[in-house]
Homo-oligomer: A and B are copies of this chain.
C-alpha cells in the first residue's frame, strides 16, 4: 500500500531517534524491529532500509506491502541479488573509462563506455526479476533465498542498443555464432577454477534484438549495487542474464562452459541433479500478484476496496488480468492503470470491489498477448525457479 510508513526514507527517519519517531507515529513497530534486523551492506546503504528485507549482504528484497502503484520501482526499493561479492566502489571512479570487449563480430575490439556513448542512445523499461522470485512458496524448501514477490521491479534503463554496437563493428562474424554470451567483470576469488565462479551466461542470439548496454537506471548513473558502470540488459529475460559490470559480450557457437551456465539456473526435476540438457532459465513467464490490500498495512474495513498489483510476461505484453477474492472460484476483470511503458514493463492493474466482513483469499491471474495464461500451480523444480503459480501468490485477508 502506498501509505505504509515502512517505505518512508531511511534518512528521514535518521533525523531522530527510533523512540521519538515511534512516538510521533513516524515509525511503525515493525520499523523498530527492523532496526534490530540485518543492516544494509555499505554498497547499498542508500536504499530504503525500512521497506526492505535483508536476507544477506548480497540478497535484499522489498516487502510486498512496500510496492507502490506507480509503474516504476524506485532504485531505493529495487531488490539486489549478486552471485559474487560486489566489486569495490573504485570501479566507478572513471565510468567512461570502463572497458568491454566485443567478440564474435567482424571487427572485434574493446570499447570504453565513453566510446559506446557515441554509438547510440535508447531507453527501455523492463521488469528485472530474479528467476528464484517465488522460491519461498515451494513446499520442498529449495536451497537459495526464499524470495516471495520482492525479487522483481520495473525500472528504466538508458544505454546503447547492442545491435548498434554490433553494426559499428561490422556485424556478427558468421552464422554459426548463435549465442549471445555476456561475462561479468567481478574480481574472481583466487585458488579456484575461474569457470566455477564467473558470472557468464549465453542466450539465444535473438536476444540481440532488444539488448542494451546500459549505464543509467531510472535517470541516474547506474549504481554499483545494480551493475554500474555498465550492465548488459536483456529485456524479457530472467535477472541472471542481465550481466552486471559487463566486461565481455561475445557471439559464440556454443553456450558458455561456465558452471553458472552449464549447471546453474537449470529447470532440474525434483530430486534430480542439474545438467546442461535441462531447460535453462531464459525468458520470463506470465505472472501477476496483488500488492494491496495486504495484512501488513493493518486491518481492512468492509466496503469499497481497491485491489491492485502488477502483471507482466517475458517478451509479450500482458493483455488481461483477473482477480478473485474466493481463491479462484469466481473471477473479476481488472483494469490496467497508468502509463504503458512497453511490452517489457509491468502493468499495474486495479479493480474496485465491495467486500463485506469475512475472510478472503485474494488471487490474480494474468494472460499475455501470446495467449499464455498464468497457471494455478507452479512447475516443480529442484532449485525453485520460475514460480508463476497464481495460487502460491494468494493474499489472505481479514475484512472487519
Instruction: Give A contacts to B, CB under 8 Å.
Output: 2-5, 7-12, 15, 24-26, 42-43, 45-46, 48, 67-77, 89-90, 92-96, 113-114, 117-125, 156-158, 215-221, 223-224, 229, 303-306, 308, 337-339, 341-342, 345, 348, 350, 352
Contacts and interface: CB of A to CB of B under 8 A. Distances in A.
Given A219-B74, A220-B68, A122 B337 contact: yes
Contacts of A94: 25
B121 A215 contact: no
Contacts of A221: 2-4, 7-8, 68
Nearest to A306: B121
Nearest to A153: B219
Given A15-B89, A156-B71, A345 B339 contact: yes
Given A123-B338, A339-B124, A348-B123, A71 B219 contact: yes
How many chain copies? Answer: 2
A24 B68 contact: no
A71 to B, nearest CB: 6
Contact of A92 (B8, B96, B216): B8
Contacts of A157: 70
Contacts of A89: 12, 15, 24, 26
A203 B47 CA distance: 38
Nearest to A4: B221
8 contacts: A2-B220, A2-B221, A7-B221, A12-B224, A70-B220, A74-B219, A118-B305, A120-B352
Contact of A96 (B3, B26, B125, B223): B3
Contacts of A122: 337-338
A124 B339 CA distance: 6
B26 A217 contact: no
A84 B152 CA distance: 39
9 closest residue pairs by CB, A with B: A123-B338, A25-B93, A68-B219, A118-B304, A2-B216, A11-B46, A70-B156, A3-B95, A70-B219
